[in-house]
Amino acid sequence: MPSLPLTPDEEKKAYQTIGVHSFDDLIATIPPKIRETAQFHLQFEPEYPDLSDGLSEHELRNFFSQIANCNKTAPEVLHFLGGGIYDNVIPAIVNQLTLRGEFLTCYTPYQPEISQGTLQAIFEFQTLMCRITGMPLSNASMYDGATATAEAVLMAQRLSSKNKNVLVSNNILVDYQNVIKTFLSGQPPSLFEVLYDAAGMLNREHLRKQLETHQPCALVVSFPNAFGSLEDLRSIKSELPSSCLLIVCVPDLSALSIFEPPGKLGADIVVGEAQQLGTPMVFGGPHVGFFTARKEYLRQLPGRIVGETTDARGNPCYTLTLSTREQHIRRDKATSNICTNQGLIALRTTIYLSFLGKRGFQTLGEINYSLFEYLRKSLAHRGIHQKFPKATHYREAVFEIPELENKFDRCLQKNIVPGIRLRDKYGPDFENSLLITVNPKHTAKQLDFLVESLTS
């Protein structure tokens, strides 16, 4: 049982103060029929078939450790998984500082006078996101990369008075495509695909056709795309009429450490996931989405924004601003329904990037790039080639592996998860396709081991 402060004597005292005889008097407005059946039973088979009294901390530790141990993780398992979520090296101070009660147990900073810590950290997060993406405007965070991309589509629709159609390249991550679909499912059909070409890149011919047919207000592409390839954003932008915004989702924000930021390549809205910068994978969340855009779209931005101002004593300070876009003020006219976002994970990202610093960030990108190039060459040397070899890759790519099914299973038996099988995500063309991803925890030896396992 947990520790709650109210003692039996205090309970009696409270009833006296309130002017009732018992707890039942306080809940008398609940119809008796509902009250009678209210008790529930908690089952956690097989250990606790009826958990009526709670567990002690010691029992909790045993139970949860046992569940956690049913997951196979490093160092027992070596994995090469990515596809939007990436393993990364996290400095000790990131966890330590994030666990400070003043950050962990504070509230959304609606009261700026007693929330300056959170507010300034978000202001720094906004600055970091702008500098990395090359965009001038950032919000305080979104749930994750997929929902940030869906919100970017909704924002593009709001910015367009006439046409609400949106084109989505079908080489962005499948999860992102599916979340966009769900977010737009409440409105008349407005979502159209642009296919990728034989090189796995946005199919320009199909793009031109779709632009003409649908007159869209936006095109969503990814940088790098779901196959790990970097699209030529500048040349894509040159294909678009001025009425069509270029939305770039960046499934791997860390790529912008060594590759040109989309802001410099003609993007109008740049969104995505920042998990790979200081947040563990945690089976897919909590992570943190970022949302950046051109300045002129400010009034249509979803979510919270922090601005710098002064206090009554003339000192610089911070506050949430432009709240009239938000649901708690504007209700059904709000730019988004988002309320709680990912404040604490945005703080993690800010601490991580601050400590990694300008040079460290570049080094991180170079590590990923160099590891990938090493792996690519080793695999090629052993006769395993990329499905889309022409493109530039950052840290992951699709490899064609003969008899993948067998090879994959054999790797699993050796506790290697060699990558993500794409057959179920992108169709029968990908029967023997494996998305292999490197991360900064990998060593040259481990890459050699992977190559050996996939080729022997």
Partner 1 sequence: MKPQSGATSCLMLREGTIFERSTPERKGFQLSFPEVPRLTPTTFSRTEPAELPEVAELQVVRHFTRLSSWNYAIDLGTFPLGSCTMKYNPRINEEMAALAGFCDVHPELPPPFCQGSLRLIFQLERALAEIVGLDACTLQPAAGALGEFTGLTMVRAFHEKHGSHRKYVLVPESAHGTNPASCILAGYQAITIKVGPEGYMTTASVEDAISKYGRDIAALMTTNPNTLGVFEQNISHIAELLHGIGAQLIMDGANMNAILGIAKPGDMGVDVMQYNLHKTFSTPHGGGGPGAGPVACRSHLIPFLPNPRIVHKAGIYDVEYLPDSIGKVKGAFGNFGVMVRALTYIMNHGSQGLRTVSKNAVINANYLRAQLQKKYQLGTSTPHFHECVLSDSRQIQQNGTKTLQIAKALMDYGYHPPTVYFPLTVPGAMLIEPTETESLQELDQLAEAFLEIAARIENKEDTFENAPTKTFVGKVDEVGAARKLILSVDDRPR
Under rule CB under 8 A, which residues in 341-380 are in contact with partner 1?
341-345, 347, 350-351, 353-364, 366-367, 369-371, 373-374
Q: In what order do the strands lie in the sheet with 289-293?
A: 137-138, 289-293, 269-273, 245-250, 218-222, 166-169, 191-194
Cα(368)–Cα(396) distance, rounded to whole angstroms?
A: 9
With H, G, I as helix, E, B as strand and everything else as coil, classify residue 395: coil
Which residue's CB is nearer to partner 1, number 86 or number 211? 86
Token pair of 204, please?
A: 């320009």
Q: Is residue 263 within the footprint of partner 1 (CB under 8 A)?
A: no
The interface with partner 1 within residues 416-445 (CB under 8 A) comprises: 417, 420, 440, 442-444
The interface with partner 1 within residues 169-228 (CB under 8 A) comprises: 175-176, 178-179, 181-183, 185-187
Tell the smallest beta-carbon distance from residue 212 to partner 1 (Å): 28
The interface with partner 1 within residues 93-122 (CB under 8 A) comprises: 93, 95, 97, 99-109, 111-118, 120-121
The interface with partner 1 within residues 238-257 (CB under 8 A) comprises: 256-257
Which residue's CB is nearer to partner 1, number 61 or number 209? 61
The binder of partner 1 chosen from 205, 296, 311, 431 (CB under 8 A): 311
Cα(254)–Cα(273) distance, rounded to whole angstroms?
A: 10
Tell the smallest beta-carbon distance from residue 442 to partner 1 (Å): 7
Show contacts of 48-52: CB within 8 Å, 24+ apart.
none
Q: Is residue 32 within the footprint of partner 1 (CB under 8 A)?
A: no
Tell the smallest beta-carbon distance from residue 402 to partner 1 (Å): 20
Q: Is residue 296 within the footprint of partner 1 (CB under 8 A)?
A: no
Strand partners, 415: none
Which residue's CB is nearer to partner 1, number 210 or number 439? 439
Which one-letter amino acid corresponds to residue 402? P
The binder of partner 1 chosen from 156, 326, 426, 450 (CB under 8 A): 326
List CB contacts of 139: < 8 A, sequence separation 6 or more.
126, 290, 291, 292, 301, 302, 303, 304, 305
Tell the smallest beta-carbon distance from residue 146 to partner 1 (Å): 4
The binder of partner 1 chosen from 247, 384, 447, 450 (CB under 8 A): 447
Which residue's CB is nearer to partner 1, number 75 or number 241? 75
Which residue's CB is nearer to partner 1, number 211 or number 404? 404
Q: Identify whether the C-beta of residue 425 lies closer than 8 Å to the C-beta of residue 408.
A: no
Strand partners, 138: 292
Q: Exposed, middle or buried by CB within 10 Å (0-12, 13-18, 19+), for 239? A: middle
Among 16-24, 198-206, 209-217, 237-245, the segment contacting partner 1 (CB under 8 A): 16-24
Strand partners, 167: 192, 219
b/e per residue, 157-168, with b = 16+ CB within 10 A? Answer: bebbeeebbbbb
Which residue's CB is nearer to partner 1, number 211 or number 341? 341
Tell the smallest beta-carbon distance from residue 387 to partner 1 (Å): 18
CA separation, residue 423 to residues 273, 430, 453 (Å)? 24, 5, 21
Which residue's CB is nearer to partner 1, number 171 or number 211? 171
Cα(280)–Cα(299) distance, rounded to whole angstroms?
A: 33
Q: Give me the DSSP letters along 235-253.
A: HHHHHS-TTSEEEEEES-G
Among 82-90, 201-209, 210-218, 426-434, the segment contacting partner 1 (CB under 8 A): 82-90
Q: Is residue 390 within the footprint of partner 1 (CB under 8 A)?
A: no
Number of residues that bind partner 1 (CB under 8 A): 197
The interface with partner 1 within residues 34-73 (CB under 8 A) comprises: 34-35, 37-44, 48, 51-55, 57, 60-61, 63-65, 67-73
Among 12-20, 156-164, 200-208, 397-405, the segment contacting partner 1 (CB under 8 A): 12-20
Q: Identify whether the C-beta of residue 225 lies closer than 8 Å to the C-beta of residue 195.
A: no
Which residue's CB is nearer to partner 1, number 72 or number 382? 72
Q: How far apart are the first and last CA of the chain?
A: 55
Helix 343-381 with 116-133: angle, nearest 10 deg = 30
